[in-house]
């Protein structure tokens, strides 16, 4: 079986764009009818107030849209599409190289796409988790967390360096999953995650919340509340978080953004500020161990001897 390179853009991608526009208009109108909060409402909240588990669950208080924030998110999407198209050939070539050395040969069947989707979702969990645990990878993913608002446009605030973790999904061609099903699994996984970036939908029925990633679970993931940091990495399924100990339910009202917000709508700054901070930290230290830590340590990592370096990482 010969592996065919996936098409960078297909009909679903084309239809997605008007769908995004239509649903964002719908969401903005829904939220406009509600009593909205403000991103500064929780600015002075203490860690205890943001995370006290003894209090009843907070009501959902949306913060809505802000034109400059939405424009920045849409600009990041445009850049993401351009970068993905530029790297599509290289990533496709790498996948073909691995597929030609596959250790199994899963034929096309009615089960190959569901298998690919389950495999992608499992690998996505680790991809997402590592992007929160390794600063170099976080420098790519921090783009998505940089908004202090949470709406459907936030889902489109996509990074420009996604190629840094494309290797995470190489086990799929390695076990012989058909190329078009691998590509389709990635596409559908990403599209599923679009609708969960909203405050227009509150908690869903318990059976749904128990198995699937939902707006409630993903709102918590975008929070900088102490108990929400580095939680709820799942794509379609939330069961991976429950299996690997990273699940946290939404209880306290979510404070969105970064622990150290960048306060800008400049797309270049949004896309590359953490890479610049890494380079600055590496340049300021004379220790190769510290340089390694600044690049591959956790976001916010600091050397034991702080006299030789001043870290600047912002974490979510």
Domain for residue 249, yes or no?
A: yes
pLDDT-based confidence at residue 114 (cuts at 50, 70, 90): very high
pLDDT-based confidence at residue 82 (cuts at 50, 70, 90): very high
pLDDT value, residue 14: 84
Phi, psi of 223 (to 5 degrees): -85, 150
Token reading at 290: 């510290």
Token reading at 274: 């953490």
Mean predicted confidence (pLDDT) in 52-58:
86
Instruction: Give how many domains the chain has, as a whole number.
Output: 1
Domain for residue 178, yes or no?
A: yes
| C-alpha–C-alpha distance, residues 274 and 159, integer Å | 12
Domain for residue 80, yes or no?
A: yes
Domain for residue 130, yes or no?
A: yes
Mean predicted confidence (pLDDT) in 100-116:
89
**Crossing angle (nearest 10°) for helices 179-194 and 67-99:** 160
pLDDT-based confidence at residue 107 (cuts at 50, 70, 90): confident
Show Cβ contacts of residue 292 under 8 Å, excluding neighbours closer than 6 positions: none
Domain for residue 237, yes or no?
A: yes
Domain for residue 28, yes or no?
A: yes
Q: What is the pTM of this model?
A: 0.92
Cα Rg for the chain, rounded, in angstroms? Answer: 20
Mean predicted confidence (pLDDT) in 115-127:
97
Please, what is the average pLDDT of the chain?
92
Domain for residue 272, yes or no?
A: no
Domain for residue 316, yes or no?
A: no
Query: Per residue in 85-101, pLDDT tens?
Result: 999 899 989 999 999 99
pLDDT value, residue 11: 83
The SS3 assignment for 212 reads strand
Residue 155 class from Cβ within 10 Å (0-12 exposed, 13-18 middle, 19+ buried)? buried
Structural domain including 248 reads: 11-256
Show Cβ contacts of residue 125 under 8 Å, excluding neighbours closer than 6 positions: 233, 234, 235, 240, 241, 244
């Amino acid at each position: 079986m010969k592996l065919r390179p996936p098409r960078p853009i297909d009909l679903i991608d084309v239809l997605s764009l008007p769908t995004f526009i239509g649903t964002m208009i719908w969401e903005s109108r829904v939220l406009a009818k509600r009593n909205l909060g403000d991103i500064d409402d929780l600015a002075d909240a203490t860690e205890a107030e943001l995370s006290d588990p003894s209090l009843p669950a907070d009501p959902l208080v949306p913060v809505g849209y802000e034109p400059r924030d939405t424009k920045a998110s849409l600009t990041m999407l445009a850049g993401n599409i351009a970068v993905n198209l530029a790297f599509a050939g290289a990533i496709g070539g790498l996948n073909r190289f691995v597929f030609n050395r596959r250790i199994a040969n899963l034929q096309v069947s009615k089960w190959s796409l569901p298998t690919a989707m389950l495999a992608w979702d499992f690998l996505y969990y680790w991809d997402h988790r590592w992007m929160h645990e390794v600063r170099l990878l976080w420098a790519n993913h921090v783009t998505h967390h940089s908004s202090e608002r949470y709406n459907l446009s936030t889902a489109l605030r996509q990074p420009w360096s996604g190629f840094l973790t494309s290797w995470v999904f190489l086990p799929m061609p390695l076990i012989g999953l058909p190329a078009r099903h691998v590509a389709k699994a990635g596409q559908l996984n990403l599209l599923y995650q679009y609708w969960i970036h909203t405050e227009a939908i509150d908690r869903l029925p318990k059976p749904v919340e128990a198995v699937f990633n939902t707006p409630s679970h993903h709102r918590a993931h975008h929070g900088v509340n102490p108990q929400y940091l580095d939680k709820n990495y799942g794509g379609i399924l939330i069961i991976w978080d429950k299996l690997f100990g990273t699940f946290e339910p939404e209880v306290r009202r979510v404070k969105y953004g970064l622990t150290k917000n960048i306060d800008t709508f400049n797309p270049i700054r949004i896309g590359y500020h953490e890479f610049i901070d890494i380079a600055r930290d590496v340049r300021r230290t004379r220790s190769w161990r510290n340089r390694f830590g600044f690049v591959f340590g956790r976001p916010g990592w600091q050397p034991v001897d702080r006299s030789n370096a001043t870290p600047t990482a912002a974490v979510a």
